[in-house]
Amino acid sequence: MRICIVIPTKNEGATIATVIDGVRDGIARLGHEVAAVVITDDSKDQTRRIAKSKGAVVVIGEGKGLGYAMWKGLKVSLKYNPDVIVSMDGDGQSKVDELSRFLEPIIKDEADLVLGSRFKEKGLVKYKYRLKNRTGIFILVRILRYLTKLPLTDSHGGLRAMRAEVVAELEMIGTHTYVQETIIDAHEKGFRITEIPSIWEVRQSGKSRVVASIPVYIFYTLPVLILRSGQHIKSLYPLGIFFILSSFLDLTIVCAVTHFNLQEMFDKKSFHMVFILLSIGLNLFFFGFALELINRVKQRVDRLNF
């Protein structure tokens, strides 16, 4: 098989040479042909220079985030006519000698996308994994399971293998990360996805950036996942109307009870309630309205793409 390797990098100068050599050797040992090693890079260190000296194709990530860089790198890798594309982190956390297990389901024609899971078996993570990261992964896995109905146990291992068709048909909205959205996209397009246990070594140098911050994930990735799910918060708009009507009803009752006597009206708690109901109602209404507009725009864009 012709195999392309795509490696996203951001300041991985300390490890990139070993990773490139390792993956080339690994593929050659398995009797496959390396079509190209593509690094998709957002570094400020020597990563690009080192990768070029190792014969890698360097794609510039443009500083828009791992998701965008990876999308670009994956699409560029198609130019080298691979049968299979392997993506692998550039920090040495994944083990190259697992490659044959990742390629096996594709060779046997049992899967189109093979994902690595660090939690499918006990003891795969070789260092103390932070609770914050575990929590983030727990939530992301639940979202992925809900959206794909697949029994996934991890949202992003550092190694995966996919048929070139999976990349050729890949469409992405997110720029912050690619890991979850690519799974959803492949599932939507009917590709067979399988997950295998995969070891996760400690980072050899530098710091992890991807799940380091849950708020960043909520800000950038959650909207993408909601959009990809096709779900929409439909109830806000009618709920707003309900609150506004309730405030009018409340006002009518207060006016009727006090016979329009302003002083008496101000003394009644239910009169104050009118403003609270109205304010909640208007907020929900306009927020729901804005979401409804976005939903219509999305439907239109989807139709234009078609």
Ligand X SMILES: Nc1nc2c(ncn2[C@@H]2O[C@H](COP(=O)(O)OP(=O)(O)O)[C@@H](O)[C@H]2O)c(=O)[nH]1
CA atoms within 13 A on the CB side of 187: 21
**Tokens 């997950």, located at residue:** 195
User: From the CB of 205, what's the least distance to Mg ion, in Å?
Assistant: 11
Q: At what angle do helices 269-305 and 236-258 cross, to 10 degrees?
A: 160
Task: Please tell me the distance from the alpha carbon of residue 84 to that of residue 164, in angstroms, as a whole number.
Answer: 5
User: From the CB of 20, what's the least distance to ligand X, in Å?
Assistant: 12
User: From the CB of 208, what's the least distance to Mg ion, in Å?
Assistant: 5
SS3 readout for 167-185: HHCCCCCCCCCCHHHHHHH
Q: Annotate each residue in 146-175 with x if it binds ligand X (CB under 6 A) or - if it does not, as one string.
A: ----------x-------------------
User: Which entry of ligand X, Mg ion, none binds 88, CB below 5 to 8 A by partner kind?
Assistant: none
Considering only residues 90 through 109, tell me which ones interact with ligand X, judged by CB under 6 A: 90-91, 93
- Residue 37 buriedness (CB in 10 A; 0-12 / 13-18 / 19+): buried
Q: Is 12 in the site for Mg ion (CB under 5 A)?
A: no
Tokens standing for residue 161 = 């293998």
Which residue number places its CB atom closest to ligand X?
208
Cα–Cα distance list, 208 to 37, 80, 85 (Å): 22, 30, 24
Q: Annotate each residue in 200-239 with x if it binds Mg ion (CB under 5 A) or - if it does not, as one string.
A: --------x-------------------------------
31 secondary structure, DSSP code: T
Q: Is 40 in the site for Mg ion (CB under 5 A)?
A: no
User: Which entry of ligand X, Mg ion, none binds 9, CB below 5 to 8 A by partner kind?
Assistant: ligand X
Question: Between 209 and 268, whose beta carbon lies closer to ligand X?
Answer: 209
Tokens standing for residue 30 = 């398995």
What stretch of H or E contains 3? strand 2-9
Q: Are 177 and 65 in contact (CB under 8 A)?
A: yes
Q: Is 69 in the site for ligand X (CB under 6 A)?
A: yes
Task: Please tell me the distance from the alpha carbon of residue 76 to that of residue 5, in angstroms, as a whole number.
Answer: 11
Q: Is 65 in the site for ligand X (CB under 6 A)?
A: yes
Longest CA–CA span in the chain (Å) reads 92
Question: Between 133 and 246, whose beta carbon lies closer to Mg ion?
Answer: 133
Size of the site for ligand X (CB under 6 A): 20
Considering only residues 184 through 213, tell me which ones interact with ligand X, judged by CB under 6 A: 208-211
122 secondary structure, DSSP code: T
Q: Is 91 in the site for Mg ion (CB under 5 A)?
A: yes
User: From the CB of 41, what's the least distance to ligand X, in Å?
Assistant: 5
- The contact set with ligand X (CB under 6 A) reads 8-10, 12, 40-42, 61, 65-66, 69, 89-91, 93, 156, 208-211
* Residues making contact with Mg ion (CB under 5 A): 89, 91, 93, 208
